Amino acid sequence: MAAPQPAIAFPAGTATRDMLSDLTAFAAFDRATAEFADEGIPYFINEFWTARQRQSHNLHEISYRACFKAELPRFFIERLTEPGEAVYDPFMGRGTTPLEAALLGRVGLGNDVNPLSAMLARSRLNPPVLTDVARRLVEIDWRARVGDADRELEVFYHRDTLIELVALKRWLLDREWKGALDPVDDWIRMVALNRLTGHSSGFFSVYTMPPNQAVGLESQRKINAKRNQAPERRDVRAIILKKSRNLLSDGAPPGRLPHRVTTAPAHDNRAIGAAAVSLVVTSPPFLDIVDYRGDNWLRCWFAGIDTEAIVIDRHRKAEDWEAFVRRTFVDLARVVRPGGHVAFEVGEVRNGSVLLERHVVRAVAGLPFRLLGVMVNDQRFTKTANCWGVANNARGVNTNRIVILSRS
C-alpha cells in the first residue's frame, strides 16, 4: 500500500468581491433579484445561470445520480477566488466542483466517502491524450472466461459484449493489484464506468434506465419482456474510444496544478491542511432521497468495489441530518482560510416541506462562520411566493437552494 500523501497547504487567497452586492445587482436574464428575510435568514432569488442543457465543458459529460450542473460551482469560483487558489468539495460525487475549478485555473480538491467517486473524477482533472487511449485499447486482451455469477449480467449485455467487459474488468484490476495502473488505464476505467448501462447504442447494454441509475437483474428482465428486446452486440473498445473523443474535444484543464481527490468521511479528511482552501462548493446527501450504493451496484461490480463496505450517510430525520452537517462544518472550519467562503447547496426535499437551509444555519451555530444568506436559483421564472415549494413540477428538485457563508 502506498504511503499517505502529505496534507495540502496553500497560501491565503486574495479574492475580496462583495458577494451580496453581486447577488442583489444580478440581472443576466433580465430579471431583478427578489430579496426578503424569513426567520432572520436573508434570501436572494433569481435565475443566476441558464437552465439550458449542455452548456459546460465536455469533460463534465458523465452521469451520476443527483449531481448539480457545472454552472453552479462556476458562479462562485469566478466571484470568490483567484487563479491558483484551492476549491474543495467534501461530497464531490462525479467531481463537478474540482473539475470546474481546474478548468478555471484553480486547484481542484475533491473528496467522497464512496471510492467510485475518485475513479470518476481523478482522470478528468489530468486527462490523457486520445492517441494514448487508442494505443492502450489495442494492447488489452479482450478475451475472458465468464463465470456463472457474471453470466447473470446477460440480462443487460450480449454474451460477446459481456466477455469483453469481464476481460477489461480483470485487466484493470490486475494492473491495479500490481501497482501498474497508470493515468491512461484510469481514464479507460472512468469511461467504461459511464458506458455500462443506458438507453442508446452508445452504451454497452440493452435499453435500460439512464446511466446514473442501474436497475436490478429482475427489474431489467421485466424491462426486456415489456419491450420485447434482447441485448445486441456492442463493441466495447469502439464505444470507449468514441466517448473519449467526445470528452476530450474541448481540451484539458490548463497547466498542471496539484489537483487531488481523496476517499474519506467528509468530517475527517486529513489530506487537506489547515486553512488550505479559499472556497468550498458542495452538496451533501439530502436525507434519505437517493440510494447511492443501490444505484451504482453495477459500476461497483465493474470497479471491484464491495458495496457493503461503503458507509454513505442516509438520514430519515432532519435532526440527524443536521448533526451530520455540523460534523462536516467542524472540519470545514479547519480547512477553510479566514476570509474564505462556503457555498452549501441543499436543493429541495419532500416537496418543499423541509427547508434544509434552516438546519444548516442551526448546524453552524457557534462555529467560525458568518451567514451571508441563502441564494435560490429559480430556473423557471416562478413567482417569489412559490420558492417554498416551487410548483413548476409535481416532483423533483425545482430550485438550487445554496447557503452562503464566510469564514470569520
In this predicted model, what pLDDT tens digit does every residue of 310-325 receive, in sequence order?
Answer: 777 777 788 899 999 9
pLDDT given for residue 336 in this prediction: 97
Give the DSSP per-residue string, 370-404: EEEEEEEEETT---GGGGGS--SSSSS--EEEEEE
pLDDT given for residue 287 in this prediction: 67
The mean pLDDT value for 382-389 works out to 41
Range of lowest pLDDT (14-18, 195-199, 210-214, 392-396): 392-396
In the numeric block, the cell 468539495 is attached to: 89
Quote the CA–CA distance of 129 and 248 in Å, as a whole number.
Answer: 8
| pLDDT tens column, 84-113 | 999 999 999 999 999 999 999 999 999 999
Residue 133 region by backbone torsions, left for phi larger than 0, else alpha for psi between -120 and 50, else beta: alpha
Count how many Cα atoms sit within 13 Å of the Cα of residue 1 in the half-sphere of its side chain.
3
Highest mean pLDDT among 31-45, 165-179, 290-304: 165-179
The mean pLDDT value for 174-200 works out to 96
pLDDT given for residue 386 in this prediction: 43
Taking alpha carbons only, the member of 62, 87, 86, 61 closest to residue 73 is 87
pLDDT given for residue 16 in this prediction: 43
Edge-first strand listing for the sheet containing 277-282: 34-38, 41-46, 369-378, 399-407, 336-345, 277-282, 86-89, 107-111, 260-262
Q: Residue 358, Cβ neighbours under 10 Å: how many?
A: 18
Residues of the chain with CATH 3.40.50.150: 19-114+259-294+310-407
377: cell is 436559483
Question: Percent of the chain having pLDDT more than 90?
Answer: 68
What is the distance between the terminal CA atoms of the chain, rounded to a whole angstrom? 39
Quote the CA–CA distance of 293 and 298 in Å, as a whole number.
Answer: 10
* The amino acid at 240: I
Residue 391 confidence (pLDDT) above 50: no
Quote the CA–CA distance of 235 and 204 in Å, as a whole number.
Answer: 8
pLDDT given for residue 302 in this prediction: 96
pLDDT given for residue 54 in this prediction: 60
| pLDDT tens column, 242-259 | 999 999 999 999 988 999
Residue 46 confidence (pLDDT) above 80: yes
pLDDT given for residue 289 in this prediction: 58
Residue 166 confidence (pLDDT) above 80: yes
Quote the CA–CA distance of 315 and 357 in Å, as a whole number.
Answer: 16
Q: Is the pTM of this model over 0.85?
A: yes
3-state secondary structure of 328: helix
Quote the CA–CA distance of 110 and 101 in Å, as a whole number.
Answer: 10
The mean pLDDT value for 25-51 works out to 86
pLDDT given for residue 161 in this prediction: 97
CATH superfamily of 19-114+259-294+310-407: Vaccinia Virus protein VP39 (3.40.50.150)
Q: What does the DSSP 8-state code read for residue 2?
A: P
Spatial contact of 282 and 96, defined as CB atoms under 8 Å apart: no
3-state secondary structure of 41: strand
Range of lowest pLDDT (10-24, 154-168, 216-230): 10-24
Confidence band of 368 (pLDDT split at 50, 70, 90): very high
| pLDDT tens column, 358-367 | 999 999 999 9
The mean pLDDT value for 131-135 works out to 98
Q: Furthest-apart CA pair in the chain: how many Å?
A: 64
Confidence band of 210 (pLDDT split at 50, 70, 90): confident
Pairing of strands 336-345, 369-378: unpaired
- Mean pLDDT score of the chain: 87
pLDDT given for residue 2 in this prediction: 42
